[in-house]
Structure 1
Amino acid sequence: MTTSSAGTSDAAPALSAAAPGLSDLPEPVRESVAAYLSLVDEALPGEVLGLYLTGSVPLGDFHLGSSDIDAAVILASPLTDPERVRAVHEAMPQTPSFDATYLSVDELALPPDPTRTVVFYQTGELQAETGGPISPVLWSELARQSIAVREAPGLVVHDDHQALEEFTRTNLTSYWTPKLAELETHTAGRPDDEVAPAWIMPWFVLGIPRLHALLTTGAIVSKTEAGRHALHHFPEYTPLITRCLTTRTGTPETFTIADVAPTLTLCRAVITNALAR
């Protein structure tokens, strides 16, 4: 795979080395990928040119029970009818979730176009929506650090680091800031000892520092690495960040409403600091 760059920063990481084969993947990932390829090749015979894993797997941060398998399915032409792959995803195991985005070779050679409709499977639902997961993040993940389970011949991915940074800044203000406000509103007035859903605090505490890390280092990092990054830059929140990192590895931690206030303070400090860079 080759990349097409525009406005690329010197801090952008280099294209990763040759990807490992199926035998080098964690067993649950290997089994899911093999099952998916068998199913999708039957549903779309001869159309699946490539399959690339993104997200936690190539970053070495896959944890069964807390991680999904993220994949980009490369087709010769755009997939417009989600019904063609519905049976594929219905037949796949629910855990770990196999989240797939269907993209064409021509799409990836150009900047991501959020006005286009894309078929994707995410959070247990097959969807066809404008934009969807299409963003400079996905394009850069594919170009820099994906694992090619099936390599699409001559694939070119447009990787624009300046666009990636601009998207990240916008995401901090348009997505994460309102989500923090929702968390604050939803938990206001609840007793401090009320147990909160286990995923909420780690989602914020490990998610937002990923964007800070990108703007600071130029690299797309895993959630675990984002937690370590936050420990370094915001050490006063070490107990909260450490507990969130512990849940990432599969060891249960109990979070309560009392954890909301430090989560909000930390995450807002991370956003403010990131936007100042």
Structure 2
Amino acid sequence: MTVATPTRDELPEIVRTVCDTHAALVDDALPGLLDGLYLHGSIGFDGEFHAGSDIDFVATVTRRPTDVDIEALRHVHAELGKRWPSPAYDGFYVLESDLAGRPADVPEGPGVLHEWFDVGHHGDVKEITWRELRDHGVTLRGRPLRDIEIHSDDAALHAATRDNLDTYWRAQLEAMEHHPREASLPQAAEWGALGAPRLHHLLVTGRPTSKSGGGRWVLEAFPHRREIAEEALRVRERPDEPSTYAADPDRRRRDLIALMSEVIADGVTRGSMPSAAASDR
């Protein structure tokens, strides 16, 4: 199935408004600094955006931000958070030339995550972000992403994805096993039954996908886990619909743990990135 990257005009109004406010605040505080503004993540896949979704941005700048610039950006994001406390707006500032190199080589810089503005190595400065920008990034301002040189390393992306499954997601699975009440909640199903399969999809197909795409991948690759995948998609896309687990939340937890265990066990055995990774931009 072909997944389209939306244009700016096809984005939800709230996304355009928050991003336009961000750009205007930066322009007012630091004229000439902001060069480009781009989005990555689920929204790049047919404009997927639901209640509770966040906005993930990458801002390219015309110079390495100075201490004065950084303080101004801190105030920008404080003001943006006051005007738009939701949706969450997470991202970082880099030079356009940084995108041509390895994420690991990007120097520390300003960014915001979960409303916390800081200077350091932002959590989204990583291989999957570069790949999402290359294949499904949304251009809001500046040169179109298709005209920008963006680093691509299938082996590094594959290794990082497999490591993420084996460390972060395995730890999430262990936490669910030790905290049954929290793991029985609908939000846990959405988090685990979409997030871990999303990585598995990349390892198997060589292509990134959205959160909902991760759930639909379960329907294809793990059809015997259909109910928990449908539950996760319901929570994300249709939260007002009734749950098939309403009478027995612990069954939801057991099904979630079973799916995540299977996804992680299979994913960490996957070898090199398949040739599908060389998809057209």
Tell me if TM exceeds 0.5.
Answer: yes
- Superposed displacement of residue 102, structure 1: 1.2
Note if 1:97 corresponds to 2:88.
yes
- Report what 2:226 is aligned to: 238
Quick one: percent identity of the two aligned structures? 31
Residues 182-214 of structure 1 show CA distances to partners (whole Å, capped at 9, x for unaligned) of: 221222xx5xxx894442221111000011100
Q: Offset at 1:161?
A: 1.6
Deviates more, 1:114-123 or 1:89-98: 114-123
Task: State whether residues 111 and 122 of structure 2, in contact with CA within 8 Å, keep that contact through their aligned partners in structure 1.
Answer: no
- Aligned-partner Cα distance in 1 for 2:227–2:179: 24
- Contact 1:114 / 1:134 at 8 angstroms: preserved in 2? no
Note if contact 2:192-2:256 (Cα within 8 Å) is conserved in structure 1.
Answer: yes
The TM-score with structure 1 as length reference comes to 0.83
Aligned to 1:20: 7
Given residue 172 of structure 1, which amino acid in structure 2 is its aligned partner?
L
Confirm whether residue 107 of structure 1 aligns to residue 98 of structure 2: yes
CA contact (8 A) 1:53 1:72 kept: yes
1:1-277 to 2 correspondences below 5 Å = 20-21=7-8, 23-79=9-65, 81=67, 82-92=70-80, 93-113=84-104, 116-152=107-143, 155-187=148-180, 196-252=184-240, 256-277=249-270
* CA displacement, residues 120-151 of structure 1 (integer Å, 9 cap, x when unaligned): 21222222233522111111111111011112
3-state SS of the aligned residue for 1:78?
coil
Which amino acid counterpart does residue 211 of structure 1 have in structure 2? L
Measure, in 1, the Cα distance between the counterparts of 2:186 and 2:65: 36
Report if the CA contact (8 A) 1:77-1:105 is conserved.
Answer: no
Amino acid at match of 2:192: F
* Larger helix proportion of the pair: 2
* Partner Cα separation in structure 2 for residue 146 and residue 181 of structure 1: 33
**Pairs aligned (count):** 257
Using a 3 Å threshold, how does the CA distance of structure 1 residues 172 and 80 change in structure 2: closer, same or farther?
Answer: farther
RMSD: 2.5
CA distance, structure 2, for counterparts of residue 276 and residue 152 of structure 1? 39
Between the aligned partners of 1:203 and 1:195, the Cα distance in structure 2 is 10
In 2: Cα distance, 1:259 partner to 1:60 partner: 29
Does the 8 Å CA contact 2:38/2:58 hold for their aligned counterparts? yes
Residue in structure 1 matched with residue 277 of structure 2 by the alignment? none
Q: Give the deviation of 1:36 after TM superposition.
A: 1.3
CA separation in 2, counterparts of 1:47 and 1:169?
37
Q: Which moved more, 1:114-123 or 1:47-56?
A: 114-123
Instruction: Name whichever of 111-120 and 226-235 sits farther off.
Output: 111-120
Structure 2, unaligned stretches of length 5 or more? 271-281
Contact 1:61 1:224 in 2 (8 A): no
Give the 3-state SS of the residue equivalent to 2:15 in structure 1.
Answer: helix
Out of 177-186 and 255-264, give the one that drifted further. Answer: 255-264
1:34 CA drift (Å): 1.3
Structure 1: segments with no counterpart, 5+ residues = 1-12
Secondary structure (helix, strand or coil) at the match of 2:86 reads coil
